[in-house]
Amino acid sequence: MRPRPMSPHASVYRFQYTMIGSLTHRMTGVGMSVGLLVLVAWLAAAAGGADAYAGTTAVLSSLVFKVLLALWLLAFCYHLFNGIRHLAWDLIYGFERREARRSFRMVVAAALILFAALAWLLFCRGGAAP
């Protein structure tokens, strides 16, 4: 088979800081794809009865999973707001460089605020409270 045409390799591009935004969107997306596995395992355990559920929550309340849970929450907050920014771009809104830079800062700020609120609810008041 003939080799297919390829776009230039990414490393030829000068680094621009909008790249951080896209790369983070990708990392948080894939991270949540892994998180989805855990979410479904948790649901299946809940469907399996009280004993299966107790075993699973014991694992999920370990320190490792608490850290992972916090990371998934943070990933969700960023991916949510940056995803909305992507959807706005698709409507051809906010493409200008100044606007893109400004909306990136807004995404990061909104993500951090939402993360702080959700983490407080979950770890200080909610079901993962000590």
C-alpha of 27 from chain center: 7
94 scored as a contact of other proteins (CB under 8 A) = no
CB of 82 closer than 8 Å to CB of 25 = yes
29 scored as a contact of ligand HEM (CB under 6 A) = yes
In the complex with other proteins, the residue whose CB is nearer, 69 or 104, is: 69
**CA 59 → CA 24, 42, 52, 95, distances in Å?**
28, 10, 11, 44
11 binds, among other proteins, ligand HEM, none (CB under 5 to 8 A by kind): none
57 scored as a contact of other proteins (CB under 8 A) = yes
Q: Which two tokens stand for residue 28?
A: 């948080």
86 scored as a contact of other proteins (CB under 8 A) = yes
Exactly one of 65, 70, 83, 94 binds other proteins (CB under 8 A); that residue is: 83
> How far, in Å, CA of 44 to CA of 86, rounded?
33
CB of 69 closer than 8 Å to CB of 59 = no
94 scored as a contact of ligand HEM (CB under 6 A) = no
By CB under 6 A, name the binding residues for ligand HEM.
25-26, 29-30, 32-33, 36, 79-80, 83-84, 86-87
